[in-house]
Every structure is written in C-alpha cells, then in structure tokens.
Chains A and B, each alone.
Chain A
Amino acid sequence: MRETESRLVARRLARLHDELVDHAVPLPIDTAAGRLLLEEVDYARFPPVHEGRIPPYGAIVSFGTRPQWEKLSAPTKLMSDDIDLTLLRSLADGRSSFVVRGTGGKQGIVIFDRSLESEASAARLRAETGAFVVQRVRDGLVRVCGPDGVVSWEGVEWRFKPLAEQHAAQVRRVVPQLDAEVLAGLMELCVHWLSAGQVGATLVVALRGPARLLHYLDHSAATTPPPLSVACRDHFPALRSVLAQRDRAVLVDPDGTVAALDVGLSWSDRADRMVASVGGMRHTSARRFSFEEPDAVVFVVSQDGPATVFSDGTPVTEVRADPCLSGFPLARLSAVDPDRDGETTVTCPHCERVLLVDQTRFEDWDGGPERLPCPVCGTTLSLDAYRSAIRGVVKP
C-alpha cells in the first residue's frame, strides 16, 4: 500500500473509531485486537466498487490467543499469512466465503458449503467460534455479530440488538415452567429468524398439557403440520417459510412440538375491560389471550422487527434493534448483575395478579413511595422503595 493511501486509511479508521465511540456502539475497538475489527467494519462499509457494483463481504475476526477458526466446520480452509489481504478480501462474499483474521497476523479464507448470509446463520457461527462475524449483505446492511449482540448499520444509524439468549433469562424468571430447550429455540426463532427476516408471527406455547386443550382458541381454520419442533434448529427454515404465509397463531406443545397452525385467539369481556389495547391487533390479542390463559405464554413477532413475549396479560420482555445509545446497557449490564436481593412480589388490588418486582432500597430514603401502573390493568400501585420495576406476573 502506498504511503498516501495508507495515511488515508488510517484517517478513515480514526474517524470510524470516533463515530463508534460517540454512538456508544458496543464493539471492543479499544482492545489490542480491536484494530482488526475496526478495519473489517470499515472495509464492509466502504468496499471497492467495481463497474458500478458494490460487492458483498464477510470476515471472521478472532480475539482469542488461539485461532478460533480451527473449530469451524468449513470444508475449505486456506490459511496463509503471505497472501495479500486485498486479494483475500476479494474472495470473501460474506455468504459462503469469509476472510479470517486473528491476533498475531494469522489470516486466511474459509469457504462453507452453505450460505451463512442470514442473521441467524451469522449468530450461530459466532456462537460456535467465539469470534466476531462482520458482513456486508446484499441489501447494503453492514452487520457485526458479537458476544453482546448484533450491531448493524443500515445507512442511517448504528443499531444494536441483544442476542436471543440474553432475553431468555428474563422470560425464565417469570415463566420457570417453560422447558429451557424449548425457550432457547423459541427465542432464537423469534429474534434471529423471524424478526431479522421481518416475518410477523404469533406462537402460543402451552406450559402444561396439549396446547389444543387451551380454552380461548378458535380451531375453525386450524391445520396440522408435520411434526416440526421449535426446539430443533433444523426445522426453523420450514417454520419461517410457513409463518411468512400465515396471519393466525401457531400452537406449540410443552415439549416444543408444533401442534397446529392457523388458530384464532379469543378472550372474555373481562379481559377486554382489564387489559388495555396496546400496539397493533396482534399484540393486543396476544396480551388479552395470555391474561385468560395462565397456562400459556405467547411469543409475538412484529413484521417491523420487535419480538415480544406475553404472559398473564403483560409483556415479559421485548427484543428490538434500537439505536445504540438506548439499546446497549439493558443487555450487557443485566448479565453482570445476578444479584436478586431486591426481588419481591406485589398483588394488584384490581386485577389480583401477583407481580414480580425488582427493587432498590436505601434505609434512609425519605422521598416517599414510587407509583407505577400495573402492567396488566393499569391500576396505579404504590411501591415502598427507592426504585421499583415490575418484571411480570408470577405464574401460579
């Protein structure tokens, strides 16, 4: 690289570094290996244009002391520290072929026998290797899958979406009855397959007994699929395909088996009065149905991205790609603070639901109680603590 070009790249990387810092983008760019990540994000954003075409691109950046790509189950791995990086990059399409780079100057190219272009595939690749997966995909989106979540740049702003597994813990606190494998599968399906693919869906999961025996269901248009499971990743492409062509709900048994498609949700007049209409029809019906059916949890994915879990008439968690300034701390810092000393329960005097509440207390706090609305019915609750947050309804 000529000196002038080298200086230009250095200036561009410095600008990118400052931009990522200013927007609180959760990437470890100030570590020793962060420079590699910065270079790959920069290249993914501004690849060389040839004959008017902007090429897709992909790179796997390892921060480990040992090359993590040794774990890759790729049919072709060509490691060479001698080949020019510019040439290596031109071989990487971000779908099946990726540049791999690690500390100590290790670099090469890996070629898979399948496409890893989707967010779901990239998140999986990250989980398997522990590396960062940088991609520029066909619609121009630049995406980085890392241990904290998915960072993306779509041309306007930096966004961050936590990984599905980080939100599963929140659901497990309120719904401990839900099988861990089924929950993990549902979160991955909703967050990295349906949400990322902008497929709207409603999945009703029964906690005890067959899902078809839940009461507030309309089976008039129901169909029975082959034995697919939300706990089996191999079935996700088929589930995404069918859900992209359906509006009504999917029933899921406690073991993860998909029991029925095209099921309608209903509720009583009491639920109409108690549970406010919030969001679109899909969300309101999920809230009201979950209010009626304490033996079920409802996973809702909006066509525009967010994935929400409803239980007992209230949202338990919502996963969305927020602008970095607002999205990041919710995910990372909750993971480093397992202290639940402040956990308590409060019963709403109106809807009589038992609510799980996290509180922070100070013995000599004299600022009075905090007033928060019941997430189910909206009744104002007076909570005697410095600060409180209602996490959901405790399952009976």
Chain B
Amino acid sequence: MTCAHLDQIRPVRPNSRRCEECVAQGDGWVHLRMCLTCGIVACCDSSPNRHASAHHASAGHPIARSVEPGESWRWCYIDEELV
C-alpha cells in the first residue's frame, strides 16, 4: 500500500535535540522522533509520555521520522506502517 499522506511532508528542520515537553515535566525518554510536517521533536511510544504520538493526535500531522543517530526510517501514524 502506498501512503496517501506523503504530500504532508515539508522541508523542516528539528526544533530541538531533546523532547522539550519531557524536559518541562522533568521526565526522561527512550528515543526521539521528529514530525515531518512541522519539525517538532518529541519522545517515542516506548517512552513514558509518548509525546510524538500525542502531537500526531492533537495536530493531525501524519508522518514522523526517527532522529536517532544513523536512523532515517519514517512512520505514518494513520496507516500504521513504515513509509
């Protein structure tokens, strides 16, 4: 299946090297993801707060990429698959 949300990817850059929401709460995270529509960096679903998923739910931005060193895979939250 071809993801129908690829057109929502923008030429963004990351807004931070950390999950700012976790930092504000005093929490930690496991891995970081970046929204490919707006560039916000947030924590992954294996982190306690799951801020990247929360960002998708609130902003509706569909695709995020990993910003872990050496990783470049992208995930569509709507199709629930790598794109």
Binding site for B on A (CB under 8 A): 24, 325-326, 328-330, 333-334, 336-337, 339-343, 357-360, 362-365, 367, 370, 385-389
Q: A340 to chain B: which residues have CB within 8 Å?
A: 70
Contact between B14 and A386, CB atoms less than 8 A apart:
yes
Instruction: Let me know if A367 and B69 touch, CB within 8 A.
Output: no
A–B complex contacts, Cβ < 8 Å, 8 sampled: A329-B31, A336-B73, A341-B72, A358-B71, A360-B71, A364-B13, A387-B68, A389-B69
Chain A residues whose C-beta falls within 8 Å of the C-beta of B69 in the assembled complex: 342, 357-360, 385, 387-389
CB distance from B30 to the nearest CB of A (A): 6
A96 vs B28: C-alpha distance when bound (angstroms): 43
Alpha-carbon distance between A370 and B82 when the two chains are bound, in angstroms: 28
Interface size class of B (residues with CB under 8 A): 20 to 34
User: In the complex, what residues of B have CB within 8 A of residue A342's CB?
Assistant: 69-70, 72
B69: min CB distance to chain A, Å: 4
CA distance in complex: A370, B67 (Å): 14
Tell me what chain B mostly uses at the interface: helix, strand, loop, or mixed: loop
A360 touches B13 (CB 8 A): no
A-chain residues with CB within 8 Å of residue B67 when the two chains form the complex: 360, 386-387
CA distance A340 to B68 in the complex (A): 12
A363 to B11, CA, bound (A): 11
> Which A residue sits closest to B39, measured CB to CB?
A362
A325 touches B17 (CB 8 A): no
**Could you give, for residues 63-83 of chain B, a 1 whenever the CB lies within 8 Å of some chain A CB and a 0 otherwise?**
000111111110000000010
| Neighbouring B residues of A337 by C-beta, 8 Å | 66, 70-73
In the complex, whether B46 has a CB less than 8 A from a CB of chain A is yes
Q: Which residues of B have CB within 8 Å of A367?
A: 16-17
Bound: A105/B36 CA distance, A? 44
By the criterion CB–CB under 8 Å, are A370 and B17 in contact?
yes
Contact partners of A343 in chain B: CB under 8 A? 70
**B73→A329 contact, CB < 8 A:** no
Q: How far is the CA of A339 from the CA of B65 in the complex (A)?
A: 13
Name the residue of chain B whose CB is nearest to the CB of A370: B17
